[in-house]
Structure 1
Amino acid sequence: MDIAHTAAIALVALALDAVIGDPDRLWRRVAHPVAVMGAGVALLDRRLNRLELDEAVRRRRGVAAVFALVLGAGMVGFALSLPLGGLPYGYLLEGVLASMLVAQKSLYLHVRAVRDAFAAGGIGAARHAVSMIVGRDPSKLDEAGVSRAAIESAAENFSDAVVAPVFWLVLFGLPGLFAYKAINTADSMIGHKTERHRAFGWAAARLDDLVNLPASRLSGAIVAIAAALTGRSAGAAFRAMREDAGRHASPNAGWPESAFGGALGLALGGPRIYSGVAVDDPWMNRRGRQDARPEDIGAALRLFRSACAAHAGAVLAVFGVATLMG
């Protein structure tokens, strides 16, 4: 794989996504690639995940389903990249395709909507806005809870929706990007510890943990660099990761969350309610203050923008080194 070529694709994708994002008018007319992947996951779930079957059988079926999804997505990516890779400026077209699977701008806008909702309609409007991006029960959240939820979404999705897809794109081109998004989509739909999906979604959840492992650590380091660029403490971000990232229930989410918390001086995570069930999660950056405010969302958005710029700079550095070595 030509790393200079795939890094060039990534740079085009990041630039397009930062400027254009997800054009709603287009996706109202054409199915988004993630929606297509989601339809495939739902189809396999309906056909293969039969509750009357033994749990071991359902787990094996879940492994087969994820294998089929990842193989199919990778083959689509390969089929798209094969003709484009031979064109003089094919990387530009590949970058257009890749930009559909990176979510810098849409994530930024969704989190900003929570901050703006506080100003426009108070806590009720903010609860509605945050319900668009988190799974916890917004009716149980006070001002601090809504603010933390928005910031945590920015942190975790910086890794899952920005750094991780670009990481696999740079390593393996469009096949790597498409395969990653298939895994991530499957995990979001069936990777839950519910009666229906505990066995069938086991492979999706474990594979998602694995493919996000390098990007989550990289995301934390990028956030620390962004903290320094915005006049905050990179040391506090690194300290929070060292002390608290490993305490998170997820092997990956704790890294960007604790980095954001350290950089902002906030304690993120902590106890919350999902589907009416209280979950006693540990605090990320436990030394920070827990009473997050709407203005902290604005600070998190500035940190997010800086992190996206630092991430793009890292990809540019990879492109430069690969070009010189090639």
Structure 2
Amino acid sequence: MTQTLFILFFALILDRLVGDPDAIWRRVPHPVVLFGQAIGLMDRLFNGKRLSAETRRFNGAACIAVLLAASVLLGFVMHRLLAAIGPFGLLAEVVVVAIFLAQKSLLDHVRAVSEGLKQGGLEGGRRAVSMIVGRDPATLDEPAVCRAGIESLAENFSDGVVAPAFWYVLFGLPGL
């Protein structure tokens, strides 16, 4: 447990300092993007409108089980491989954990909303907030733009920082 907390601590620092460098993720798909693509593929293959609701529900549960099992297996294999290479494996694990954290990118996106409002007024804020929310920002006034940025930060902090850290602490790489 101590080693896991040590790794998480340094991964949080690494993510805060480096984040998700565009230069890397433009060339190689981010693991979260790959997972999203796998979900999309399974949705297209096993969630056709021609299927009954019961079949679609079963297929959805089966797809979730398969994706989770594949993730846990990959995490377990990666953990074993990194453990076998000693101190370099610990450093590599810090990097792997940092990849699955999103605190710097969240801060950057919310800071962009603030800067958009300061430099571009309401239109600048709307443009920036449109990058992080699903709603149409055209009807938002300045307080609503601020609320949308803060709500997005809170929701995505849970998904992008708290949840990965929690599952990593509980189960290591397989949990992540």
User: Is the pair's TM-score, using the shorter chain for normalization, greater than 0.5?
Assistant: yes
1:85 CA displacement: 1.6
Contact 1:6-1:172 within 8 A present in 2 as well: no
Deviations 1:171-227, CA, capped at 9 Å, x for gaps: 1111100xxxxxxxxxxxxxxxxxxxxxxxxxxxxxxxxxxxxxxxxxxxxxxxxxx
Aligned to 1:30: 28
SS of 2:11's partner is: helix
SS of 2:19's partner is: coil
The correspondence for 2:57, drawn from 56, 59, 64, is 59
Aligned to 1:306: none
SS of 2:97's partner is: helix
Aligned AA for 1:148?
A: R
Provide structure 2 residue ranges, at least 5 long, that are not aligned to the other structure: none
1:121 and 2:83 aligned: no
In 2, Cα distance between equivalents of 1:85 and 1:167: 21
In 2, Cα distance between equivalents of 1:83 and 1:61: 33
Tell me the TM-score normalised to structure 1 length. Answer: 0.52
Aligned AA for 2:162?
A: V
Contact 1:8-1:91 within 8 A present in 2 as well: no
In 1, Cα distance between equivalents of 2:48 and 2:19: 38
Aligned AA for 1:70?
A: L
Aligned to 2:38: 40
Aligned to 1:69: 67
1:34 CA displacement: 0.6
Contact 1:12-1:92 within 8 A present in 2 as well: no
Aligned to 1:147: 146
Contact 1:48-1:61 within 8 A present in 2 as well: yes
1:46 CA displacement: 0.6
1:39 CA displacement: 1.0
Q: Percent identity?
A: 50
Aligned AA for 1:151?
A: I
1:88 CA displacement: 2.6
1:110 CA displacement: 0.1
In 2, Cα distance between equivalents of 1:53 and 1:115: 46
1:9 CA displacement: 1.9
In 2, Cα distance between equivalents of 1:150 and 1:65: 33
SS of 2:29's partner is: coil
Q: RMSD value over aligned CA atoms?
A: 1.0
1:5 CA displacement: 2.1
Aligned AA for 2:51?
A: L
In 2, Cα distance between equivalents of 1:52 and 1:29: 37
Contact 1:111-1:151 within 8 A present in 2 as well: yes
The correspondence for 1:86, drawn from 81, 84, 87, is 84
1:126 CA displacement: 1.0
| Superposition map of 1:140-179 within 5 A | 140-177=139-176
1:86 CA displacement: 3.0
Aligned AA for 1:133?
A: I
Deviations 1:104-143, CA, capped at 9 Å, x for gaps: 1000000000000011211112111111111112112111
In 2, Cα distance between equivalents of 1:86 and 1:168: 22
